[in-house]
Each structure stands twice: as structure tokens, then as C-alpha cells.
Structure 1
Amino acid sequence: MPVKPLTEAELRLAELIWDAQPLPSGELVRRCEEAFGWKKSTTYTMLKKLCSCGVARNEEAVVTARMSREEYHRRQGEAVIQEGFEGSLPRFLTAFMRGRGLSRREAEELKALIDRWEEAGDE
């Protein structure tokens, strides 16, 4: 299921939550004021946005993530490939690498990833 892309401010708040969860909401307000200069109302407005899109939750004044950082970024990557490249990972990689090339290390990492996938028998 796709997740809407987060704004820069929303992503900064999500990063703070991912790094410090579980977090009492009062502590989140304090950290946001310290890190971003946000007022309490701004923090709660931004938190409400993260909760409404399924990235975070605020239950009984304790803030936690509903999805991991890795899950969020995976879903964002899938959306880019689906929307921009008709779901084709090879087309995405070709466009991404055009004019850039791969280092030997990157090529080895990709080959190892493909080898692991083939050994697992995934399709």
C-alpha cells in the first residue's frame, strides 16, 4: 500500500520518532522545540499528519512509529518505480544509471543481491 511522500518537516519529525520511540508526547514536544524551534501546537499538528498517513501513532500520550524507517523508504521507492517506470525495476535502474555508471563495489553488491534472490527461489 503506498504511503504519501512526507514533507521535509514531516520527515524530520518521523526521523526523531524512529530514533527515540517510544516517546511520551510531552517529551516529543520538548525535543521538537529544542531541535526545530517548534511550538507545542506545531509539533501536534505535524504529529497529527504523521498519524493520519499511517507513519506514527499517539496512544495514551505515547508516540511510536506505525511503520519502520525502512518500510517507509521501501514503499516510497516502490511508488517511484510504479508511477514513473510502469513498475519495471530494470527500466528504473537503467534510467538511474544513465551517465552515472556503477562502481565495482556497487556492481558486486547488486550481483550478490540478485544471487541471494535466486538462491531463495523468489519470483
Structure 2
Amino acid sequence: MEKELKLSNADYRLLSIVWDSEPIASPELCKLAESQLGWKRTTTYTVLKRLCDKGVLQNENTIVTSKIKRDHIQEIESRWIVSRVFDGSLPKFITAFLGKEKISDNEAEQIKQIIDEYRRRK
């Protein structure tokens, strides 16, 4: 599954609704997709089927649930971006991500704590 899990922007947008609402009946998912994304029912069912075919969602007896949780998808997607765009270099990614933006002392401390925790696990 992780080897080539490619999610489109539409996939991720529908997934976000499912993650926030699961388990959710597919008619209710259509209503949420219409109100939040402006999608017609047919669009929602097309994207839902694609996500089920990819093994990310399951639609059983009209109840939609995720088979892969949000944090796992975020990990896969972020690793893919770092690998593809930044030659696997996390420092290059962070430099590009921050650009000329400043981060707060609180954000800097949170990042430091994440790195410290990672080092302790090794």
C-alpha cells in the first residue's frame, strides 16, 4: 500500500471529511461534500470509489470508514515530498518551508522538543 499510494487533492479533501466524521453514512458524506466542497453527489461517489479501490476507505452497507488513519497518510505524503522535491533532505525541506517566514518562540520550542524526542527513541 505505501509503495505507491498517490492521493489527488480531491482524494485528500474527501478523506479529511471522512476522518472528521467517521463512521459516516455515504448519503451524509455526500451532503457534507456538497456543503464543504461544492461537490455534486456523483463527484463524491466517484472519489469515494477511487479511495475504496486504493484501499484507503471502505464503504460497507453504506457506512464509510477509513482503513488508513490521517497521521499515517500525513507521514507517507510528507516523506514522499521530502524524498521527491528535496532529495530526501529534511534540512532542505525545513529551510524551504520556513523561507523568509519567522516562527514564534513557541513553535521553535515545539520543533526542538520533537527532535529531542526523536533522538531519545534512537
Q: TM-score range by the shorter chain?
A: 0.7 to 0.9
What does 1:77-92 align with in structure 2 at a 5 Å threshold? 77-92=78-93
Number of residues paired by the alignment?
Answer: 120
Q: Give the secondary structure class of the aligned counterpart of 1:100.
A: coil
The equivalent of 2:20 in structure 1 is: 19
1:25 and 1:5, CA in 2 relative to 1: closer, same or farther beyond 3 A? closer
Say which SS state the counterpart of residue 119 (structure 1) adopts. helix
What is the identity percentage for the equivalent residue pairs of Structure 1 and Structure 2? 38
Question: Which structure has the higher relative contact order (CA within 8 Å, separation 6+)?
Answer: 1
Output the TM-score relative to the length of structure 2.
0.79
TM-score, reference length from structure 1: 0.79
Which consecutive residues of structure 2, in runs of 5 or more, have no partner in the other structure?
none
- 2:46 is matched with 45
Task: Name the amino acid aligned to 1:5.
Answer: L
Q: What is the CA distance between 1:51 and its match in structure 2?
A: 1.6
Match of residue 74 from structure 1: 75
* Residues 98 and 43 of structure 1: CA distance in aligned 2, closer, same or farther (over 3 Å): closer
User: Which one has the largest radius of gyration?
Assistant: 1
Partners of 2:39 and 2:60 in 1: CA distance = 21
Unaligned runs of 5+ in 1: none
